[in-house]
Amino acid sequence: MILDIFFPNRCIHCNRIIDGDLLVCNLCFEQIHFTHFNFFEENYIKEKCKLLFPIKNAFALMKFEKENLSRKIIHELKYKSREKAGKILAEWTTERLDFKKEKPDVLVSVPLHPKKLKERGYNQLHLFTETLSRFYGIPFSHNLIKRNHYSKAQALKDKQHRLETQNTFSITENITDKHILLIDDVFTTGNTLASIAWEILKARNNKVSVLVIAMDE
C-alpha cells in the first residue's frame, strides 16, 4: 500500500522498518523480559494477589521494569492508538500460557469508564481478550464489570490515591459457580483487580484467576 511506502511500520524500540503486523524487530524482541510463570503453580504475581483476595491461579506475560521495552509496549497499547498491539500481545501470551484441561469459564477485562473510553476511543484490553477467547475457545464478556467512577490514569496517581478503589466497580448480572479470569494490562498495587475480584467473590462459589500483560515488581 502507498501508506506503507511513505509511512512504514517501525520497531518501537530501535526504529528499524519491520512488517506491518509487528511491534518490535527480532533483535529487540530478545530484550523483552518474559516471566515464564506457570499458571497453575505458585509465582510472584499469585503471591501478591493472595495478600489481597482469594485467588486460584495467576499469570503475567512480561516484567514491567523501569526503562524496559515492556514499558514502551504497554505505552503503545494504551496511549498511542495502537489497539492492534493487543492482538500481538495475545499471540505472545498463547505461546506461553497453556490452560491444559482446566480452563476458566469466562474472560473478563478491566473496564474503562464510559468517559475514558470516549476519550481514548478504545479499550486497550478488548482486542487482547477477544484474541485469547478465539484461541482458547473461552467466552469473554466486556459488560460483566462496570466501572462506576471516572478517574485519571493509574500512572498519574500517587500511591495513596491508587489505594482508594472502594466502590469503583460493580457486577452487572448475577453470576454463580463460575471461574472468572480477570485480565488487566499492568499489575502495580493490585488494588484494581482486588476491587473487582471481591465483587465477583460476593456471589456463591465463584473463583477468580488473574492474567496481566505486565507486572511491576
**What ranges do the domains of the chain cover?**
1-31, 32-215
Is the C-alpha dihedral spanning 26, 29, 30, 31 positive or negative?
positive
DSSP string, 93-154: HHTT---TT---SEEEEPPPPHHHHHHHSS-TTHHHHHHHHHHHT--EESSSEEE-S----G
pLDDT value at position 3?
46
* Tens-digit pLDDT profile for residues 6-55: 579 999 999 999 998 899 999 999 999 999 999 999 999 999 999 999 99
Taking the C-alpha atoms of residue 173 and residue 152, their distance in angstroms, rounded to an integer, is 27
Assess whether pLDDT exceeds 90 at residue 121: no
* Tens-digit pLDDT profile for residues 128-141: 999 999 999 999 99
pLDDT value at position 154?
52
* Crossing angle between the packed helical segments 85-94 and 69-79, to the nearest 10 degrees: 130
Assess whether pLDDT exceeds 90 at residue 152: no
Assess whether pLDDT exceeds 90 at residue 157: no
Q: What's the topology of domain 32-215?
A: Rossmann fold (3.40.50)
Assess whether pLDDT exceeds 80 at residue 81: no
Mean pLDDT of the chain: 89
Bridge partners, 140 (sequence order):
107
Instruction: Give me the residue label for grid cell 502507498.
Output: 2
Cβ partners under 8 Å of residue 83, min gap 6: 77, 122, 124, 126, 127
Among candidates 63, 52, 34, 50, which has minimal Cα distance to 162?
52
Residues constituting the chain: 217
**DSSP assignment, residue 84?**
T
pTM: 0.88
Assess whether pLDDT exceeds 70 at residue 115: yes
Report percent pLDDT > 70 for the chain.
90
Other C-beta atoms within 10 Å of 135: how many?
Answer: 13
Higher pLDDT, 170 or 7: 170
Is the C-alpha dihedral spanning 14, 17, 18, 23 positive or negative?
positive
Higher pLDDT, 81 or 53: 53
- Buried b / exposed e across 195-214, counting CB within 10 Å, b at 16+? bbbebbbeeeebbbbbbbbb
pLDDT value at position 7?
74
Assess whether pLDDT exceeds 80 at residue 144: yes
